[in-house]
Amino acid sequence: MAYIAKSNPIQTVKEHTDDLLLLWEKFLKLYGDQFSEQEKEFIYLAAFYHDLGKLNALFQYKLHKVIGRKYEGVAPKADEEEIPHGFLSPAYMNTEKLEELYGEDIELVVTAIYNHHIREDSYTEGALERYIDRYLPDSYTYDTKQIFYKNTDYLDLGYLITAFTNNPRNKGNMTAKEAHEKWLKYIVVKGMLNKLDYAASGRNLEQIEIAPLPAGVLTNVIQKQWKVIRPVQEYMMHRKDENLVVLAATGSGKTEAALFWLDGSKAFYTLPLKVSINAIYERISGRKDHQYHYDEDKITLLHSDLLAYYFAKQEVNEHSFAMEDPLIRKEKAKLLAYPLTICTVDQLFWFVFKAMGSEIVPATLKYSKVIIDEIQMYSAEILAYIIYGLKIITQLGGKFAIITATFPPVLRHFLVQQNIEFQIPESPFRGEYDKRHKIEFIEAEDFDYEKIIDEAQNKKVLILCNTVGRSQSVYDQLKDQNEYVKLLHSRFIRQDRKLLETEIMKFSDSDETGIWISTQIVEASLDIDFDVLFTEMCPADSLLQRMGRCYRKRNYDGINPNVYIYNTKNGCGTNNVYQYVDIYQYSVDDLQKYNHNYFLETEKFEYINAVYDTARVKATSYYKKIEECLKTLQDLPPSTIDAGTAHQQFRNIQSITVLPERFYQADNVQEYINIIKDKKQYDMKTRIKAENDLLQYTISLNANLLKSKKGKGAIDRYPIEAIKWLGIHRCTRVYDFAALSGSGLCLEKEDESENLC
């Protein structure tokens, strides 16, 4: 009998198994030297046996019915529940013989096969044994030389690691240390099995891994363009096999240094914000200024707006985007198949919660390099997740490089505490410009608007606020006081925010003068350069990032300050943007020694080191939060939470997506909604494109607004019914923005105390 594994297209169990084994052979040619011999054998065994549970009569009866064939095997009992095939597949493993060959670690293979799909497991050993006895054939002939006989030894002789399942059989009889050591081995087998299976199931046999650029190809191009190799680039070029923490000032060439380090390897380049990710992607791929021309078939974006980006590029036929379907690119990106992936950290580091289904990520990172750029931008919780993730990556054999303009000493402390080995240069790498800022610190509740108006007569002025509400108030004060006043923050719909981001960058490169008002969303996301900065005080790392938007690539020799810092205390305190009040106050206190002076780049490193000195911050809630999160992750048993919860926990999702009424009523938006919900008339690609088009009219807001007085009545409590799975809520607040003039507040003016950026 030909046992069917898949119905569309029809494929037998043997054919599907052969596809996995072929993929594994191809994979080994690329990255086989990153795996031990036992790991290779275990992954092969997992791939070979993973789908044999599909031989069961209920599964075969179901698939034969779907494809219109008569099933001639054992007839299933009426209303009998089908047990997922993964729980049955190990029945054809001769576990006793395999244990003789490989020792007790064979349990890793059995458990990986058992769990290779995420299915609710509430079955007793007796129920599984009865099902196997009745519905699985006694033997399976793979080919003329290989015949396999069923047994149930894997259930009752300890070959299944119940601590890694979601079954109540889990007795938790391992210590945390033992569970961690086994989990490290297990995720390699399970992750690679999933990667092979997903690629083979999509019948895209090239999707498992795309061969990286040969070593030297990219770096040779960079060397020709840069002419002279800078110190930070030299440093990373000669330490390609080391874990690195590299402190490098703006303009030192750290992005290119990172490319030298990853040369010829599979790599992931992470940044905090999507807009900065897009910028780095375009820079590396040669889409901006035609710099490097990294082969676009070997580089991808990976973030929540991936499809929107590629659909937009495809529409304008930019380069060869019209040649590849964005949906195919997304699937390959999700499989982590590209040699170079530019992504947000949540796309990778969510695996630290050890959820079932996350194993493909650490298994891939085992043979990859990870670059963490702008690490100072993350919250205490996210920093803990990254540190723990780096620990796992290095234990598996992967490499990392942290490249940053500021690196608080307390983070070095935690890396050492977690026994993560790394090299760090004796001193930071300086940029081309050392004297960029002269500062003035001012105790005041608000900005000096007369001074701002005066400066804007012949300069580019940037005003950075700690909250959306304050930025709107400042805009109201200034919009009629100068011919050019623009506002940018997180409360614009996606397409308007993108328009404004493009405009502020064009303004920065132009000879125009005027005023831009924004929030911390521009701290690390946009490559802009203004003449004067007015900013509310904020913690030291954020303050230095803000200063980087002024005199970014030039020295300043003026007599008057070009950076004015107002200690308004707006957005500072518990449940605010800046909740660690002690860190905020240290930042204020330590800044005073530089007040009314040029704040040199070397002094900025000293400033950060003082504020985040380990001994000083040990008693702070910031330190305790990192310490607490690290301990939680260390003690967290595998498979305790599901993948969805892990994603949510990493992102600390407390937001909702809203669609302003102004756009909900528009004809094009209603058309998008109709396309999305009509699965019969429109194919998946058309519906996904409509979904991405619809999202361009939405805004992300704090979920607490659903309960607050501000949000009550203005935001629908429940998502739009026709497309409720997208979680989009209607919002009746006035949306005030005119695209042609680029002016407006976005959603109607809010109380400036609202603590969002």
Q: Which residues of 214-228 are buried (b: 16+ CB within 10 A; e: fewer)?
A: eeeebbebbbeeeee
- Hunting for tokens 């890793």 — which residue is that? 108
- Cβ–Cβ under 8 Å, residues 629 and 459: no
**Three-state SS sequence of 489-525:** CCCCCHHHHHHHHHHHHHHHHCCCCEEEEECHHHCCC
250 has a pLDDT exceeding 80: no
The tens digit of pLDDT for each residue in 141-169 reads 988 778 899 999 898 767 888 777 776 66
511-561 confidence digits (pLDDT tens): 999 999 999 888 766 789 999 999 999 999 999 989 999 998 899 999 999
Which residue did the predictor score with more confidence, 682 or 314? 682
pLDDT of residue 715: 86
pLDDT grade, residue 254 (50/70/90)? Answer: confident
Structure-block tokens of residue 294: 């990294």
**pLDDT value, residue 169:** 62
Q: What percent of the chain has pLDDT over 90?
A: 56
Amino acid at 219: T
712: exposed, middle or buried (Cβ count in 10 Å: 0-12, 13-18, 19+) = exposed
Of the ranges 133-137, 360-364, 574-578, 635-639, which one carries the lowest mean pLDDT score? 574-578
Is the pLDDT at 750 greater than 60? The verdict is no
Q: How would residue 707 be classed by pLDDT, with cut points 50, 70 and 90?
A: low
Cis preceding-peptide flag for 168 (omega within 30 of 0): no
Contacts 24+ apart (CB under 8 A), 663-671: 663/493, 663/697, 663/735, 664/720, 664/730, 666/697, 668/693, 669/694, 669/697
Which tens digits make up the pLDDT trace of 37-76? Answer: 999 999 999 999 999 999 999 999 999 888 888 888 877 8
User: Residue holding tokens 């029809």?
Assistant: 10
Would you tell me how many other CB atoms lie within 10 Å of the CB of residue 728? Answer: 23
Question: Is the predicted pLDDT of residue 290 greater than 90, yes or no?
Answer: no
Q: How far apart are CA 630 and CA 634, in angstroms?
A: 6
- In the prediction, which pLDDT does 321 show? 47
The pLDDT assigned to 260 comes to 92
pLDDT of residue 220: 83
Q: Which of 93-102, 265-274, 276-285, 691-700 bottoms out in mean pLDDT, i.e. has the lowest? A: 276-285
Q: Are 643 and 357 in contact (CB under 8 A)?
A: yes
pTM of the model: 0.91
DSSP letters, 647-686, are HHHHHT--EEEEEEHHHHTSHHHHHHHHHHH-TTTS-HHH
Taking only the tens place, the pLDDT of each residue in 377-419 is: 888 999 999 999 999 999 999 999 999 888 899 999 999 999 9
Question: Collapsing DSSP states into helix, strand and coil, what is residue 298?
Answer: coil
Whole-number mean pLDDT of the chain?
A: 88
Instruction: Give the pLDDT confidence of 584-631 residue by residue, as tens digits.
Output: 999 999 999 999 999 998 899 999 999 999 999 999 999 999 999 999
Q: For 1-129, list the strands marked E by DSSP.
A: 4-7, 10-12
Q: 3-class SS at 287?
A: coil
If pLDDT is split at 50, 70 and 90, which confidence band does 272 have?
confident
* Mean pLDDT lowest among 282-291, 485-494, 514-523: 282-291
- Report the 10 Å Cβ neighbour count for 664: 18
What's the pLDDT score for residue 289?
A: 55
For residue range 79-135, list pLDDT tens digits in order: 888 999 999 999 999 999 999 999 999 999 999 999 999 888 888 899 999 999 999
Q: Report the DSSP pairing between strands 267-271 and 340-344.
A: parallel
Q: Give the Cα separation of 46 and 55 in Å (integer).
A: 16
Question: Pairing state of beta strands 10-12 and 4-7?
Answer: antiparallel
Residue range 296-338, pLDDT digits in tens: 788 899 987 788 788 877 776 655 444 578 888 888 888 899 9
CA 477 to each of CA 251, 452, 473, 741, 755: distance values in angstroms, whole numbers, following the listed order: 35, 11, 6, 18, 20
Alpha-carbon distance of 536 to 318, in angstroms, equals 40
pLDDT in tens, 220-247: 878 877 778 889 999 999 999 999 999 9
Q: What angle do CA 507, 512, 515 make, to 5 degrees?
A: 70
Question: How far from chain centre, in Å, is Cα 728?
Answer: 22
Residue 710 is predicted with a pLDDT of 55
